[in-house]
């Protein structure tokens, strides 16, 4: 064989290997994603549980942008975990509950549910506070363990499957605070929840007996257990700037002074609170990194990424980032909810807020870009491949 032919053959072989590997995800680094959280990344679990009952998330205008029909996502289109899957060249994650007993989930599954909390409802009873959702992080971890036992029987099979997967652990914990604030409780008392919420997400060897609302099982809602099960890559996102949420702004527009707002029109106290949570979570991630140097722990800064379009919305083609696209009026958000009778105030791609609480696909795209490529993740997700 001539030298020229030999070189050409090598090029063809390298090209073939690259093409064969392209379908398995970017760099073949993650073969699947498993995600946990609340309505920010729910891809249909809550809508499935609604069954044949009324559910606004199964109706237009939800899903109007990308899918052109409702999918159970609490947005006009894709949510954060969808952008992560697409960047890793994986299919969009299915909700786990529709195929809870039979799904093989070859590319992963999403366990997130609207209104989920990090802490179980029992925790809040000591504060004389009722949290309606039973689908706390512990329940989601329980579903995950049941699925693993079914699709990967045996410890070695589980460890292999998890070692090839990316775990997205949240955002979770925001509702633990939001439900308290929404119940008009003394807001300063919420500071006392921060250590427990952070511990629930990431503290060492914390196992809680979760009773009635959490199905009477023992769940360990911690990074430590996921690591012990064989997980090698876990992303832990922080909380958003809740002082910039239109519904929060509307709730406090009659009991605030000009000094309560920052230069962007956001409520200072609530953003400071989010940052207190985020500082505690970052410290916990750093502590776990020191203990588990063979595990990729990715700290995602959703707060910083969201503040990019709050500070400079026109850079992203967004108008007023504090105005909701669907429902309410054209100033923040009123009691008129986003449903099939609601007014759409313009193209969702020009808004950051979808319904006054949840974000638009456009906003999620901006945030995901900062997480995937930096600088709003440590390390950026794509650099962990």
- Give me the active site residues, please: 39, 355, 358
CB 182 within 8 A of CB 245: no
Alpha helix locations (H) across the chain? 3-22, 45-49, 80-87, 121-125, 137-151, 155-163, 174-182, 194-202, 223-228, 246-251, 268-291, 302-311, 361-373
User: Could you say which DSSP state residue 164 is in?
Assistant: T
152 has which bridge partners?
none
Q: Are 194 and 106 in contact (CB under 8 A)?
A: no
User: CA-to-CA distance for 246 and 305, rounded, in angstroms?
Assistant: 17
Phi-psi region of 40 (alpha: psi -120 to 50; beta: other; left: phi over 0): alpha
- Indicate the burial class of 370 (C-beta count within 10 angstroms; 0-12, 13-18, 19 or more): buried
CB atoms within 10 A of CB 34: 26
| Residues pairing with 300 in the sheet | 237, 377
């Amino acid at each position: 064989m001539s030298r020229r032919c030999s070189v050409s053959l090598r090029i063809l072989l390298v090209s073939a290997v690259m093409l064969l590997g392209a379908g398995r995800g970017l760099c073949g680094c993650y073969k699947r994603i498993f995600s946990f959280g609340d309505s920010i990344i729910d891809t249909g679990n809550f809508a499935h549980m609604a069954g044949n009952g009324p559910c606004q998330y199964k109706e237009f205008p939800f899903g109007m942008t990308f899918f052109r029909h409702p999918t159970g996502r609490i947005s006009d289109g894709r949510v954060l975990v969808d952008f992560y899957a697409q960047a890793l060249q994986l299919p969009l994650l299915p909700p786990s509950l529709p195929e809870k007993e039979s799904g093989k989930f070859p590319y992963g599954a999403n366990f997130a549910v609207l209104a989920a909390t990090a802490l179980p409802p029992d925790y809040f009873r000591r504060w004389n506070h009722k949290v309606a959702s039973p689908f706390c992080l512990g329940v989601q971890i329980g579903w995950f363990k049941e699925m693993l036992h079914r699709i990967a029987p045996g410890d070695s099979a589980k460890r292999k499957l998890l070692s090839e997967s990316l775990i997205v652990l949240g955002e979770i914990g925001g509702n633990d605070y939001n439900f308290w604030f929404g119940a008009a409780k003394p807001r300063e008392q919420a500071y006392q929840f921060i250590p427990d919420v952070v511990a629930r997400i990431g503290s060492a060897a914390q196992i809680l007996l979760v009773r009635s609302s959490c199905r009477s099982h023992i769940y360990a809602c911690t990074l430590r257990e996921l690591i012990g099960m064989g997980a090698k890559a876990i992303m832990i996102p922080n909380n958003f700037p809740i002082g910039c949420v239109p519904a929060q702004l509307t709730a406090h527009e009659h009991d605030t002074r000009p000094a309560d707002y920052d230069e962007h029109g956001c409520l200072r106290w609530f953003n400071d609170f989010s940052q207190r949570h985020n500082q505690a979570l970052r410290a916990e991630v750093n502590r776990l990194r020191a203990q588990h140097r063979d595990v990729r722990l990715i700290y995602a800064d959703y707060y910083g990424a969201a503040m990019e379009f709050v500070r400079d919305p026109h850079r992203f083609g967004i108008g007023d980032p504090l105005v909701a696209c669907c429902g309410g009026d054209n100033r923040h958000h009123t009691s008129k909810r986003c449903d099939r009778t609601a007014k759409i105030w313009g193209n969702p791609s020009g808004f950051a807020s979808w319904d006054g609480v949840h974000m638009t696909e456009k906003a999620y795209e901006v945030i995901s870009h900062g997480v995937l490529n930096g600088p709003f993740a440590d390390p950026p997700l794509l650099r962990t491949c």
